[in-house]
């Protein structure tokens, strides 16, 4: 097993030739009735956007894949090599009660010949934390941050209940084959095909980025990254993965879970209305949006972007306030699709209905029926 230097040499040489086009591609599927579908479906959909990437990153997030451990936090960890496991597990053992752990299965492929080592742990906060009445989600966030900062050659890929992220260097269809995603079934899936521009193409830098049950796949650039990162630093979040998209996941956690904003309010703060548009509203609505934009100014995102945000209760899609990146939404029965291209939706659902492009800066929020 080669040492990947996840934090000292944040790059991995791709076996793929550089391309001249750039874009990034994404797609998400949610079955509102929680009917689970095979990972082969999302693989087929994102494969349709092959030319949006260059082989330097692909990844997936899946929800509902661990029903036998649905009440435990599922931690996916990526290691430089098996030799880095022991020191990291000392942190895990001191912080968590681990009910089950195993190597994440993967297949040998001719496309992915160099890769880190992956393990998953199904756990909950230890007895001492439970007796102290510490909020379990807060505790898990602190544990994730501790591992990402202190553990040598390791970081947490995902940490939510009944969900997991699978990502790496390669085209997404190759990552799907590597992690054998056709063996998993979930009721929410997202996928990403990466074309990195100003951040490195490495295993940890692939999308999605996650925290607890939240995951983000993103097309574009967060040009406000520096401001957003400093804002998060002041509120106890540490960005360690050397890419702009990481801040989005932490911002949503801070606004929605910690500050108890609704998702409508959260995404209004992330992509705030222009002042000229706020001035046209009635006084009550003007006051609400002015307060959101003023109080959470450090959370506002700038730059061209479209991203999908998934969580255990739903799927949200949004693009920037002047629509510099594409996003298409379609549906069929209880299923809703969000994608960079309508062609990917038609690939897996030829008779999808009501396909449309959302207005710039307007979040499309789809909840599970039970939510």
Catalytic residue ranges: 24
Q: Please tell me the distance from the alpha carbon of residue 352 to that of residue 345, in angstroms, as a whole number.
A: 7
Q: Please tell me the distance from the alpha carbon of residue 326 to that of residue 339, in angstroms, as a whole number.
A: 8
Determine the Cα angle at 199 with ends 194 and 201, to 5°.
50
Q: Residue 180: CB partners within 8 Å, gap ≥ 6?
A: 105, 106, 107
Q: Please tell me the distance from the alpha carbon of residue 335 to that of residue 38, in angstroms, as a whole number.
A: 14
> Which of 98, 105, 163, 153 is CA-nearest to residue 127?
98
User: What is the distance between the terminal CA atoms of the chain, rounded to a whole angstrom?
Assistant: 44
| Helices and strands in the chain, H and E counts | 11, 18
Structure tokens at 302: 């700038």
42, containing H or E segment: helix 39-47
Residue with tokens 């509102």: 32
Q: Residue 326: CB partners within 8 Å, gap ≥ 6?
A: 219, 306, 319, 340, 341, 357
Structure tokens at 63: 């929800």
> Which of 203, 234, 281 is CA-nearest to residue 11?
203
Q: Please tell me the distance from the alpha carbon of residue 251 to that of residue 257, in angstroms, as a whole number.
A: 10
Q: What is the DSSP string of 217-228?
A: EEEE--TTHHHH
* Residue pair 247/232 in contact by the 8 Å Cβ criterion: yes
* Residue pair 116/80 in contact by the 8 Å Cβ criterion: yes
Q: Residue 331: CB partners within 8 Å, gap ≥ 6?
A: 337, 352, 353, 354
């Amino acid at each position: 097993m080669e040492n990947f230097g996840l934090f000292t040499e944040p790059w991995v040489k791709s076996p793929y030739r550089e391309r001249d086009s750039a874009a990034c591609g994404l797609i998400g599927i949610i079955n509102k009735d929680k009917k689970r579908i095979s990972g082969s479906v999302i693989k087929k959909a994102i494969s349709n956007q092959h030319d949006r990437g260059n082989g330097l990153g692909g990844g997936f997030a899946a929800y509902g894949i661990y029903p036998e451990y649905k009440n435990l936090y599922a931690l996916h960890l990526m290691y430089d090599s098996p030799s880095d496991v022991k020191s990291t597990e000392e942190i895990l053992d001191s912080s968590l009660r681990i009910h089950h752990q195993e190597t994440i299965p993967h297949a040998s492929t001719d496309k992915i010949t160099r890769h880190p080592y992956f393990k998953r742990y199904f756990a909950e906060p230890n007895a001492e934390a439970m007796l102290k009445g510490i909020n379990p989600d807060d505790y898990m966030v602190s544990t994730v941050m501790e591992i990402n900062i202190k553990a040598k050659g390791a970081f947490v890929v995902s940490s939510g209940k009944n969900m997991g992220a699978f990502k790496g260097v390669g085209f997404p269809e190759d990552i799907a084959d590597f992690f054998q995603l056709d063996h998993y079934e979930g009721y929410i899936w997202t996928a990403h095909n990466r074309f990195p521009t100003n951040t490195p193409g490495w295993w940890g830098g692939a999308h999605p980025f996650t925290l607890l049950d939240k995951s983000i796949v993103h097309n574009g650039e967060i040009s406000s990254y520096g401001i957003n990162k400093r804002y998060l630093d002041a509120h106890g979040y540490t960005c360690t993965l050397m890419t702009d998209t990481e801040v989005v996941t932490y911002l949503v956690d801070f606004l929605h879970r910690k500050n108890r904003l609704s998702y409508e309010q959260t995404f209004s703060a992330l992509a705030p209305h222009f002042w000229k548009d706020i001035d046209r509203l009635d006084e009550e609505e003007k006051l609400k949006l002015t307060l959101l934009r003023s109080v959470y100014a450090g959370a506002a995102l700038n730059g061209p972007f479209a991203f999908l945000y998934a969580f255990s209760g739903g799927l949200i899609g949004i693009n920037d306030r002047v629509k510099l990146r594409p996003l298409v939404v379609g549906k069929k029965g209880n299923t809703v699709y969000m994608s960079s291209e309508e062609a990917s939706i038609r690939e897996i659902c030829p008779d999808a209905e009501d396909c449309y492009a959302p207005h710039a800066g307007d979040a499309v929020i789809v909840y599970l029926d039970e939510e």
